[in-house]
Structures are given as C-alpha cells and as structure tokens.
A and B are shown apart, each in its own frame.
Chain A
Amino acid sequence: MAMEVTQILLNAQSVDGSIRKHAEESLKQFQEQNLSAFLLSLSNELVSNEKPVDSRKLAGLVLKNALDAKEQHRKSELAQRWLSLDIAVKAQVKACLLQTLASPVPDARSTASQVIAKIAGIELPQKLWPELIGSLLSNIHQLQPHVKQATLETLGYLCEEVSPQVVDQDQVNKILTAVVQGMNASEGSSDVRLAATRALYNALGFAQANFSNDMERDYIMRVVCEATLSQEVKIRQSAFECLVAISSTYYDKLASYMQDIFTITAKAVREDEEPVALQAIEFWSSICDEEIDILDEYGGDFTADSDIPCYYFIKQALPALVPMLLETLLKQEEDQDQDEGAWNLAMAGGTCLGLVARTVGDDIVPLVMPFIEENITKPDWRQREAATYAFGSILEGPSPDKLTPIVHVALSFMLTALMNDPNNHVKDTTAWTLGRIFEFLHGSTVETPIITPENCQQILTVLLQSMKDVPNVAEKACGALYFLAQGYEDVGAASPLSPFYQNIIQALLTVTRREDAGESRLRTAAYETLNEIVRCSTDETAPIVMQLVPVIMMELHQTLEAQKLSSDEREKQNELQGLLCGCLQVIIQKLGAAETTKYGFMQYTDQIMDLFLRVFACRNATVHEEAMLAIGALAYATGTNFLKYMQGFYPYLEMGLQNFEEYQVCAITVGVVGDLCRALEDKILPFCDGIMTQLLKDLSSNQLHRSVKPPIFSCFGDIALAIGENFEKYLIYAMPMLQSAAELSAHAVADDDDILEYTNQLRNGILEAYSGILQGFKSSPKTQLLMPYAYHILQFIDTLYSEKDMDDAVMKTAIGVLGDLADTLGSHVGPLINQSVSSKGFLEECLSSDDGLIKESADWAKLAISRAVSG
C-alpha cells in the first residue's frame, strides 16, 4: 500500500517554484485520494535511515500536518479522520514512529517525537494507545544517549499535547521520575539533560500530587536549581523557564526555596547571558503577577479572600530585589526605542520594577528615589534614561499621597528635559513618564491636582513642541497628551484645555500629515489622541469639533480617490481609512449625543454615510470593522432617519454577519444590528428575515469563534424589543437554540477562570435574549405564545441560582428576566413562579445585594411577581 515518496518530498523543497508547486499538488492529491497509503508512505520514509534527511524531515512535518491544525474546527476534523482509519494502518504508522526515535539522525528523531505527541493527543483521551507511555519509558533505560534524548523529548511534547486528566497518577509518577533523573547532574550527556529539562517544563502541569508531597517536591526543586548552574547555557535557560512555570503553578509551595532562588536569580541577572538573565527576571515578574492577583482578591468586595494566601515574597525580597532590577535599567540597547518588538534586560527589568511597585505600593518609593536622584543629572545618557525610566515605572502602585510631592518637584524638570535633553532615548522615556504621571495621578478622582491653571499652558506648549520631534519622541508626546486629555473627560463645562483646544487639534492634524508619520506608529497615536481630545470637548469647544467633520471627511475622501496602488500602498491606505473611520466614529458619538450639536451635525450624515459605503466597497477587514463601528454610532445619531440608508447598507451588514474568519468583524456587526434595532425600532422589520437567517446560521456554525455567540443571543433580544410581537415567526427557531445553549451553560464545568468568564457571558447573552423577547411581547395579545417556554426559563434561572457561580452581571440580568416573565405573562405564570426556588431564595439574595443595579432589578422583579401571583 505504501508508495515511494522520496522524490516528491525532495521536489517539494526545490528552489524551482514550479517543481515545488507540482510536488505539493501531488502530495495533496495523494492525501485526498488515499489517506491510509499516504500516512504509511510518509511514516516509512521517516523511519528509513537510508533516506535523505531532508525528505525524512518533510515526511514527518507533512505527517504532523495531517493530524493537527491550528484552527479548532479543522483540528477536530483531522482527529476524526485519524481515528476512523484501519487499526492495522494506525499500528503500522505508530510502530514506524516509535522506531524512528532510535534513529541516529537527530532531525528524524525530533520530528517523530512531535508526531507521536500529536497522535497521543488524539488517542489518549479516547483511552486508546494505552501502551504508549510504557513503551516510551522502557526506552529510558537504553544506554544510547540519543534514544534517551529522543524519548524525553517525546514525553515533553506528549505532556504539552495531552491534558493531565487523561494520564493516571502512576504513569505521571513514572514520567516525572524518568524526566527528573534525566535532568540530574550525574547524567553524562548534556543533550539528554537539556531534553529532560525541557520535558519537565511541560510535565509540571502533571505534577500536582508530587508538588504536594514535601519529599518529592524538595527533590524536583533541588534538581531544577542545580540545572540552573549547568555549564550549558541552554540547560540553564530551560531550568529558569521551569522555575518561572513553577512560580505561577505552585506559588503556595515556594516559601522554603525562596532564599535559594533569590541567590540563583540574582547571580543570573548580574552575570549570565541575556536569555538566561531575562528568564531570571521573569521569575520575579511572575511572582508579582501571583501576588497582585491574590492581593486583588483580598481587596475585592466580593469574597475579601483568596484560596491561596499571600506569602509577601516580594515585600520580603524588596531590599535586595530593587537594587538588582535598578542595575538592569542601565543595560539599554542603542536603538531599542525604534524597534517595537525589542526586549532586553533593561526593558524586562523596568517592567518587573513596575510590577513590584504595584505589588508593594509605597514601600518601593524610598528604595528607588536615591537611584533617580543620583543618576538623573549624569552626563551619560544611559544614567539619565535609566533614572527617568525607574521613575516612570513606579508611578502605578504607590499612593498619590506618597507620589504627588515628588511629582510636583519632578514635573518641571521633566518638561525641561523633554525640550532640551540632547539624547532621543532620554526624551522618549521622559515623554512616556509624563504620560504615566497623567495616567495615574491626574483626573477628576485625584484629590491634589498635579496640573494647575499655571502649569497647564507650559505642559501643553512642551507637548505640542515635542510632537515636532523625531517620530518616536513625538509619538510618546501624543501619548502624554492623550492621558492629559483623558483626565479632563468628565470635567464639565469649563475645561482647562478649552483655551488651547484649537491649537491642540491643529498640532495633531499636522502630525498626522507628517512625511514620517508612518514611523513608530506616530500617525496612529496622533489620531487616537485626536479622538480623545474630541471626547473631552465641552459646549464651548463643540463648534471646533464641528469644523473638524469636513476636514476628516475630506481626508477620507482622498484615500478613496487614490488609484493603482501597490499592495504596500494599499495596505497603508486601508490603515489610514481605519483611523479616519475611527475618528469619525468618536466625532459622531460626541456630536450626536448632545441636543445642541446634533442638529448642526445632521447636515453631514448623508455625505458621511456615502463615504462609509465607499469604504465598504474597498473590502478590507480592518476598514470594514472601523466603518462598521462608526455606522453603529451614526445609527444612534440619526435614529429612525437611518432607514433611508438601510437599502444601501444592508448588503454590507449581511457580509459582516457572514465573516466567520475575522470573527471580530462578525462580532462588531452583530453589535451594529443591535444599534440599528434601537435606532430604527419597528422600521427594521423588513430586514429582519435576512438578519435572523444570518444570525441563526452563525450560531449553528462550528466555525464561528465562540466569543461571538453571546452577543448574537443578546441581539435576539434587541430584535424582539424592536419588532415586538412580530418576533413570533422567529420563536420556533430562536427559542430551541436559546434553550439548548441555556442547558449547556447552566451546568458548564468551569474549572478555569476563562471558561467561567465565557460561560457567564453566554448566560448573560441568553438572559438578555429572554428579557428582550418577553418585554417585546408585553401587552401584546400574543403573549400566550411564550407560555410554553416559561417553565424552561424558570428552570434555567433556578439552575443558575443553585450552581452559585454566576457573576454580578448575570445575577442582574437573571433577576430581571424573572421579573419580565411575571410582568409579561402575569397570573399565568404565577403558580410556576411560586414553585421556583428563584422566586424565593434568589430574589431574597438579590434584594439584599450591595450592588445597586442588582437591587434595582430585584425590587422591580419583586413588584412584578407580586402582581402576577396575586393578580
């Protein structure tokens, strides 16, 4: 059955494009026509030591791609295909793979490791291939180091692919024993040791039981710490990666090792090569993450407690940790500010310092201030930059009381530095630090204002001047202005920015038109800052915003006129269109929200809509998205008048709802449907058949990203609210979908926070749908149509109540639905409601909630229920 595929595989790597293409085609055909033979041929190729390395490597890769894909839908399809193959074929493929682990060719072994792990990922959860782990472990006792290395690598990949639940503890123990033995200093081969260390990284998730046992944990920790001192840099790096993973997975088990770990990490940060030192810093950042989370939960009003106690490791390490981090700040790279993806010791150190400040608050200030004072005026730019960076890093965490006096002193120094420092790095960091000052210490909630009428003008003058500096500095100056403006968002009638408003807008528009605005994302920053300035405009400055409308419209118009663009130019054009649509969105929101400006703004809506439709016609996902958002805003501003645009817009709406691949586009479009419902009310009716069809299609597709489902459910509610009893014809489709989603979400096993959060979003969406439908039918002669669903809805709420894992948002919506049920169906549901646990316990709980919104909904529900029960 197997075929000779060597030549095709070699051709598939040819430099000649046409040969390569042809070979790829034949492989694809082979796979489609006879999957069994295809897989057998590839595994035969991989196992044959006499074949060229290149063809073997590619055979393994193609094999892997036939078993796994990134996209979830495709992934499960491939898994199903593998499972449905003939058992003998599968056995033969597996045998070849296991045999390859003993190959003298490293690439072949490594590829086989990965493929074995993929198959394990498919089969172990189905309780298939039970002998795999046993046969791998028997390899460990082989004398040949290369077999040992390949086997450990395989175990590592396997742990990455498979979830801990499917491997029983006995096998976990054996895997960990093999891995930890492989890491031991007595292991002669450093390849084996490296493979073992990397395998441990993946196996840590399996070691829950072992980490609860003092002796086993001590042993694992000792071996990991020893590995951080290995001669091999890769082993050291990998061992530190293990420590990072341990710090987040087993935070509460670390107390007795912290002293040693501090010593090890401090040495690595100061002396080791950068990749190792970065991981050593990452260990402390990760501890900060844990403690910030725990302290957050301590401080939260819901539980005021955390499952895991805080051990205050950071607070204890502070006197030694802070100096270590400050040293790293002096190790900047020359061009790091121009490179968006840069990551080096200084950046990691500053980031960690910022986390430490958030963890310990005020305590960090006296430890950092001497460093700042000593270095901020030094002739070496590195010292001045490091001092500024240190200051910027600690602005979130310590109390305003502690920081404000220092900032008062520092502010004018910073402004001078931003204007006069000869070094761009220093100016860049200074502008960023100013932004941080405005972000955390300025705004309506801050008691002692940093910015006064006296210094406001000076600050603005400096920032607007810096916006003419080199792109990276100008970009940071925009950022500082952004946060400065944000602090004035709810200042009311007399904004301190008003006298400078026109100048600010002019300066920002000038930045957007700079030749070099493409560098350092300067243009993007300038537009987003402009948006923020629009957002904080007041009655006084609204006319200036109004003047901005034709300006931005003209810019957008010009992007549409450009012709014959290269693909690079087209991408830039699309990005610019996105920024302009975003800007219009904010302007529409702002001007449409106030009666005083709304009327004047209406003269532009026809032209704006026309521009948006032309942007849609360009068909690019990001533009689509931004224009879509802007249309939501326009719908609110125009209200029922939006009807005249519907005919032209509807095709794009439908297109957005069909966009499975770019699920954010789909989600935003679903949101816009809601906006339209509220704007058009029952005038949306003629479009509802099409919209509902798309939404139902979306829901039944397993390709659609799950995050879009909750908004789709909410959207059902929006539609029902808009069209009332006309929703009747959709009930038979929508209700069963809601019902089955409700059943799934009510009992969802949410063992991790992400799943719980998603589950609650889903519940909220479903409940919003019920609310909308019930309220939509209220006072209609057709309310009886909803009676058959009442029991299920109540049961859903009852189950949510008994599961005890809903968040505040769900609680509020759920108690509201209980009221809606009583409100709409009245005495017909009285007896049903009386029987439900929700009508008593849940209602009581909500009535006594501290959350005002929950209480309000509960008060209302109580009233509605009492009417329904008593008539």
Chain B
Amino acid sequence: MADEDVSPQSSYHRNAIKTSVHNTSAQRRRQLAVAVGKERREALIRTKRLCREALFDDNEASLEGNMNIDEERAVLNAQASQIIEDLKSAMTYQGKGAAQKKVEALRALRRLLSKSEIPPVKAALQAGAVPLLVQCLSFGSPDEQLLEAAWCLTNIAAGEPEETKSLVPALPLLVAHLGEKSSVPVAEQCAWALGNVAGEGDELRNILLAQGALLPLARLMMSDKGSTARTASWALSNLIKGPQPNAATELIRIKGVLDAIIQHLRNLDDELATEVAWVIVYLSALSEAAVRLLVKSDVVHLLVGKLASSESLQLLIPVLRSLGNLVAADSYMTDMVLVVGHNTTDQILLGLIKCLKSEHRVLKKEAAWVLSNIAAGSVGHKELIFSSEATPLMIHLLSSAPFDIRKEVAYTLGNLCVAPAKNAEQPSIIVHHLVALVNRECISAFIHLVRSADIQSAKLGLQFLELVMRGMPNGEGPKLVEREDGIDAMERFQFHENEEMRSMANGLVDKYFGEDYGLDE
C-alpha cells in the first residue's frame, strides 16, 4: 500500500554535498560524447555553408576580418607569386605524384583568386599565370587539372578589362575544351571562362566568334544537365550581344537551338529559364530572322506563362524585355498571337499588371514598355488595356513614378487615345479614352513632360496636348490646356534649337491660341 503512514516528504532528501566521484564523472563522460557529436555536426554544417562554387563567392571575403586593405593586398600578392612559383616547379617536376602536385598548386591558385574580395589577379598575371595555365590546358591533361586551370582563368576573366584581355592566348584551348570529348564539368567551366570573356566587350566577342565559340556553346546549351545548359546560355547571351546582328542570326539557325530554348523554358528551373530568356532578349533585339522564327514558335506562350507565374525578379526582367522586343519588332505578335480574346493575351495583360504593381522599378518600366507596344496595336487591344486594371495603375504612375517609368507610361496612355493610323492621315482620336484620361487629371502630368529636358518626352507631351485640343468635345481642349499652364509650357519651345519641336509647339500655339483665341467668350 502506498500509505505507510509516512510523511510525503521524508523518504526524499536532497543530494548530499559529500558525494562520490562516480556520480558526476560517468554523467560527464556521456555529456562529452554527446558534445563531440554536436561539435562535429556544427563543423560539418559550417563547412557545407562555406563551400559554394567559388564563382558565386566573390562577396565571401567581406566576412573575413579586419585586416587593413593594403596589408591584405600585400599578403595576397605575395601568396599569388608564391603559388605561381609552386605551379612552375610542379610543371617541371616529373617524379611520383607529379599530376597531383600540379592539381594542388592549381587548386591553391584557384582558391586564392576566388576567396578574397580583392583577388590578386594582377600579381598572378605579372608572375606569369596565363602561359602556365595555357600549358595546363593542353590536350590529354587529366580532367581535374583542366577543371582547375579553367576555373583559374574564369576568375581572372572576371577581373578588370585589361586582365580579361590577358586571356586571349588561352581562348583557342578554352573553346576546344567545350567540345563533346570533354567531360561535363570541364566543358562547363570553360563555358564560364568564355562567358566572362565575351561579356567584356565586342572586340573580345568578335575574336571568340572568329575562333568558332558559337557552335560548341550552342551544343552545350542543348544539354539536359541544368547547370551546363544554364552556363552555356549565359555565355551565349554574352557572346551574341552585338552590336552586329550576325551572331544572333547564326545562332538561331543552328539546328536544335530553338528546340532547346523551348525545352528549357518548359523546365521548372527558374535559373535556367532566366539565362535562356537573356538569350532570347538578344536574339529578338538583334536578329529579324530570329524574331520571325520566335514569334511563330511556342516561345511566346512559354514566356507569357513565365511572366504570369514567376515571382523571380531575375527571370521576369529578361522575359519582359523579350516580349517587348518581339511585340515591337513584328506586328505578327499583335495581329496573330496576342489576339484580343485569346487566353495568351489575357495572361500577358495580367502578368504586366502584376509587374506594374511590383516594388521593382525595372519591372515597372519594362512592363510599361511592353504595354506601350501592345497599345500600339488594334483598337481592340486599346480597349482591352483601357478597360483593365492597367489604366488606373498607369495614371497613378504617370504622376508619381520616376521619370523613365513615367515616360513609358505616357507612351502607352497616349497610344490608347489614338486609333491606328490609316495611310498617311492624321490618326483619329478615340474620344472616350481621351475624355476619361482628361477627367482623371492627366493633362498636368503630360504638361510636366512637355517641360522636360528630354526631347522625346517633351514631344510625347506635345502630342498628347494636340490630342486634347483637337479631340476634346465642344472645343473644351484649349481651355483645359490653358488652365494647366500649358501655353507657357509650349511657348518655351519658341526658340528651341530642335527644329521639329520648335515648329510643332509653335504650330500648336498658333492654331489653338492664335489671334482668334478667346474671342468666342
């Protein structure tokens, strides 16, 4: 029985101060064993966290301490020279473990060039890194050596323009290792290096194109491996940047490229889609041939799908720009693809509205630009946009957004008020759109544009004022413009150096505020 007539407490007492050592020691031994596991777990997590591909970790060094920058630079430079010396001696060493020695020296160099915020690229170049690295890239070298050498070159190429240019002797071998006989990591690393080189400028781009970098990179882009396709796409987008359109045209004509683009856009990998979208940006911006192929392919639907569904800023920017390029370049887009009533059209509009609402300036601007191109389409397009949420958003942006967005928005709003021009006639006005905008006090915002130092914007403003004065019912227009100080804004152009603007402004003032103005009242 529980109740033995004892007090509830008396069987229990606290631990005596005088105890035997075994009570605590065994406990401590176990805790130590558990602590070892815990420490090792933390160490492992820490290593994994710091172990990023070096290509991404140029920020890493900001963590690394408080050493004075000059001191740090001096230390790093010394390390670079030392490692190059090590590499040199490893190259000549023929004994046991020679290959390993080379790889170790290369790895040390790669780490040094990628770990720090101020990589000692210059010191490495002065110490003669490039010829050594070129030597390491020679055919038949072990993969690990190729990989490390290409990686070093990648990091050098990411440096200052002069440093990038120093890679020229290495380019033929880097291009060669893109080929099908190379292992995937090596090819991918070479693509990185070449992407960095191509990104430097058109001089280096032309060299690369002349050396035949386009075809192997295009082949790499067709890879099923996400990271390979991504890297290749990125390198290609740098390579076809122009300004000459030949490379873009050549690329789209390579068999399988368009299919690969479509396939990658279907993939759920946003990072891959982002790089591919940049390829489309340059294809659509530079090559008419590419535009013709693209607008008739699935690419448009896929881009619109990404636009509607993605939240990634990185992806949305090239998607928007591609779509804008395509709409601007070929009327096939508004006539045949983005037909009013089609699902794709509704989707693109929703996507653009999402971007107009976004926090990011670039997204807003790009979206407004795409919208202005669509707004230049048929009356049906104008009505669709006008009746959507986009219009109030744009009216708001017209008065509140930064200048570049305001300008894009003004284009669009202006386009909404005029019907497509037939022949050479003056375009006819869609009066109810114009009235609605005026009623929502858009005039002052456009007059603001008229006063802008940017000629294009001023012209946009003037064009809108023309619409108002010509199109507002009952001849109300001039009065409305006058009330917002529009005359003063236009008169500023009386002696403007730009002749077109001068005659446009003067013509408007003469026509609507000439001698007869005010006599009616």
Which residue of chain B has its CB nearest to the CB of A717?
B41
Interface positions of A (Cβ within 8 A of B): 57, 61, 64, 107, 110-111, 114, 160, 198, 201-202, 234, 237-238, 241, 244, 275, 278-279, 282, 285, 340, 343, 347-348, 350-351, 353-354, 389, 392-393, 429, 432, 435, 475-476, 478-479, 482-483, 520-521, 524-525, 528-529, 531-532, 582, 585-586, 589, 629, 632-633, 636, 668, 671, 674-675, 678, 714, 717-718, 721, 768, 771-772, 775-776, 778-779, 781, 784, 816, 819-820, 823, 826-828, 830-831, 859-860, 863-864, 866-867, 871
- Let me know if A826 and B271 touch, CB within 8 A: yes
B306 smallest CB distance to A (angstroms): 13
A772 — which chain B residues lie within 8 A by C-beta?
45
CB distance from B308 to the nearest CB of A (A): 15
Tell which of A110, A632, A864 touches B33, judged by Cβ atoms closer than 8 Å.
A632
Is B268 in the interface zone, CB < 8 Å from A?
A: yes
Question: CB of B210 within 8 A of chain A?
Answer: no
Can you list 17 contacts pairing A with B, beta carbon distance less than 8 Å? A237-B7, A275-B10, A282-B14, A347-B17, A353-B17, A354-B17, A392-B17, A429-B18, A475-B21, A633-B36, A674-B37, A718-B41, A776-B48, A779-B53, A816-B45, A816-B49, A831-B311
When A525-B22, A827-B312 are in contact, do A343 and B13 touch as well, CB less than 8 Å?
yes
A831 to B354 alpha-carbon distance, docked (Å): 14
The answer to whether A859 and B34 touch across the interface, beta carbons within 8 angstroms, is no
By the criterion CB–CB under 8 Å, are A823 and B49 in contact?
Answer: yes
B71: interface (CB < 8 Å): no
Q: Mark B57-84, 1 if CB is under 8 A from A, else 0.
A: 0011011000000000000000000000
B229 to chain A, nearest CB (A): 11
Question: How many angstroms between the C-alpha atoms of A285 and B29 in the bound complex?
Answer: 29
**B24 CB to nearest A CB, Å:** 9
User: Which residues in chain B, 43-58, are within 8 Å of chain A measured between CB atoms?
Assistant: 44-45, 48-50, 52-53, 56
Assess the B59–A775 pair: CB atoms within 8 A.
Answer: no
Interchain CB contact under 8 A, B7 and A778: no
Q: How far is the CA of A582 from the CA of B30 in the complex (A)?
A: 9
Query: Which residue in chain B gives the minimum CB-CB distance to A392?
Result: B18
B37 touches A671 (CB 8 A): yes
Return chain B residues, CB-CB under 8 Å to A282: 13-14
Residues of B within 8 A of A198 (CB): 7-8
- Could you tell me the distance between the alpha carbons of A531 and B16 in the complex, rounded to whole angstroms? 24
Using A393-B17, A674-B41, A816-B45 as known contacts, say yes or no to A238 and B7 having CB atoms under 8 A apart: yes
- Would you give the shortest CB distance from B422 to chain A, in whole angstroms? 45
Contact of A111 among B1, B40, B62, B269 (CB under 8 A): B1
* Bound CA–CA A771/B41 (angstroms): 11
Residue B313 lies at the interface, judged by CB distance under 8 Å to chain A: yes
Min C-beta distance of B102 to chain A, whole Å: 26
**Contacts known (A771-B45, A860-B49); A524 close to B26, Cβ less than 8 A:** yes
Given the complex of chains A and B, what is the CA–CA distance between A579 and B25 in angstroms?
A: 12
Are the CB atoms of A582 and B314 closer together than 8 Å?
no
Contact A520 B20 (CB under 8 A): yes
Contact B18 A350 (CB under 8 A): yes
Q: How far is the CA of A475 from the CA of B18 in the complex (A)?
A: 12
Which of B2, B14, B50, B312 counts the most A-chain CB atoms under 10 A from its CB? B14
In the complex, A863 Cα to B7 Cα: how many Å? 62
Cβ contacts under 8 Å, B52 to chain A: 779, 823
Residues on the A chain within 8 Å of B200, using CB: none
Main secondary structure of the interface of B (DSSP, over half): helix
Number of A-B contacts (CB under 8 A): 171
Nearest A-chain residue to B53, judged by Cβ: A779
Q: Is the interface of A mostly helix, strand, loop or mixed?
A: helix
Q: How far is the CA of A519 from the CA of B15 in the complex (A)?
A: 20
Contact assessment for A347 and B18 in the assembled complex, using a CB-CB cutoff below 8 Å: yes
Find chain A residues with CB under 8 A from B53 CB.
Answer: 779
A348 to B9, CA, bound (A): 15
Interface size class of B (residues with CB under 8 A): 35 or more
Chain A proximity mask over B302-323: 1 for CB below 8 Å, otherwise 0: 0000000001111100000000
B3 within 8 A of A: yes
Chain B residue contacts of A866, Cβ below 8 A = 59
In the bound complex, residues from chain A placing their C-beta under 8 Å from that of B18 are: 347, 350-351, 389, 392, 429, 432
User: Chain A residues near B148 (CB, 8 Å)?
Assistant: none
**Chain B contacts of A520 at CB under 8 A?**
20
- Contact partner, A671, options B29, B34, B62, B225, Cβ 8 Å: B34
Cβ-defined contact, A781 with B226, below 8 A: yes
CB pair A828 B312 closer than 8 Å: yes
Q: Tell whether, in the assembled complex, residue B17 and residue A528 are in contact, meaning their CB atoms are under 8 Å apart.
A: no
Q: Is B227 at the interface (CB under 8 A from chain A)?
A: yes
**Contact (Cβ within 8 A) B313 A871:** yes
Distance A521 CA – B53 CA, assembled complex (angstroms): 56
B272 (CB) vs chain A CBs: closest residue: A781
Contacts of A114 in B (CB 8 A): 2-3
B9–A244 CB distance below 8 A: yes
Query: Contact check: which of A721, A779, A827, A863 meets B59 at CB < 8 Å?
Result: A863
Bound CA–CA A278/B10 (angstroms) = 9
A721 contact from B37, B45, B311, Cβ within 8 A:
B45
Q: Does B366 contact A (CB under 8 A)?
A: no
Which chain B residues lie closer than 8 Å to A674 at the CB level? 37, 41
Which 3 pairs of residues, A with B, have the shortest CB-CB distance? A479-B21, A528-B25, A354-B17
A61 cross-chain contacts in B, Cβ below 8 A:
1-2
If A114-B3, A238-B7, A768-B41 touch, whether A525 touches B56 (CB-CB below 8 Å) is no
Q: Does B466 contact A (CB under 8 A)?
A: no
Residue pair B63, A827 in contact (C-beta under 8 Å): no
Q: CB-CB < 8 A to B25: which residues of A?
A: 482, 525, 528-529, 531-532
- CB of A781 within 8 A of CB of B227, answer yes
Closest to B18 in A: A432
Residues of A within 8 A of B37 (CB): 632, 671, 674-675, 678
- A514 to chain B minimum Cβ distance, whole angstroms, is 15
Chain A neighbourhood of B50, CB < 8 A: 860
The CA of A860 and the CA of B63, in the complex, are separated in Å by 8
A110 touches B313 (CB 8 A): no
Q: In the complex, what distance in Å separates the CA atom of A577 from the CA atom of B456?
A: 91
Residue with the greatest number of chain A CB neighbours at <10 A, chosen from B34, B49, B271: B49
Complex Cα distance, B46 from A859, in Å, reads: 12
**Are A525 and B20 in contact, with the CB atoms below 8 A?**
yes
Known contacts A279-B9, A775-B48, A784-B269; A629/B30 CB under 8 A: yes
A residues less than 8 Å from B16 (CB atoms): 343, 347, 350-351
Contacts of B312 in A (CB 8 A): 827-828, 830-831
Per the bound structure, the CA–CA distance linking A622 and B55 in Å amounts to: 52
* Nearest CB of chain A from residue B377's CB, rounded to whole Å: 31
Across the interface, A819 reaches (CB within 8 A) one of B41, B49, B63, namely: B49
**Residue contact B314 to A827, C-beta cutoff 8 Å:** yes
Q: Does B188 contact A (CB under 8 A)?
A: no
Contacts of B44 in A (CB 8 A): 678, 721
Specify which chain A residues have a CB less than 8 angstroms from the CB of B2 in the assembled complex: 61, 64, 114
Residues on the B chain within 8 Å of A351, using CB? 14-18
Interface presence of B270 (CB below 8 A): yes
B-side contacts of A820, CB under 8 Å: 49
Give the chain B neighbours of A340 by CB distance below 8 A: 20
B29, A531: Cβ atoms under 8 Å?
A: yes
Partner of A678, one of B41, B268, B313: B41
> A847 to B110, alpha carbons, bound, how many Å?
31
| Nearest-neighbor residue (CB-CB) of A428 within chain B | B18
Contact B14 A237 (CB under 8 A): no
Chain A residues, Cβ within 8 Å of B269? 781, 784
Interchain CA distance A784-B2 in the complex, whole Å: 60
Contacts of B22 in A (CB 8 A): 521, 524-525, 528
Q: How far is the CA of A128 from the CA of B146 in the complex (A)?
A: 79
Q: Are B8 and A241 in contact (CB under 8 A)?
A: yes
Question: Are A528 and B29 in touch, CB under 8 angstroms?
Answer: yes
| Complex: A864 Cα to B49 Cα, angstroms | 9
Residues on A with C-beta less than 8 A from B314 are: 827, 871
Write out the residue numbers on chain B whose beta carbons fall within 8 Å of the beta carbon of A529. 21, 25
Query: Chain A contacts of B14 at CB under 8 A?
Result: 282, 285, 351
In this complex, which of B13, B53, B63 has the most chain A Cβ atoms within 10 angstroms of its Cβ?
Answer: B13
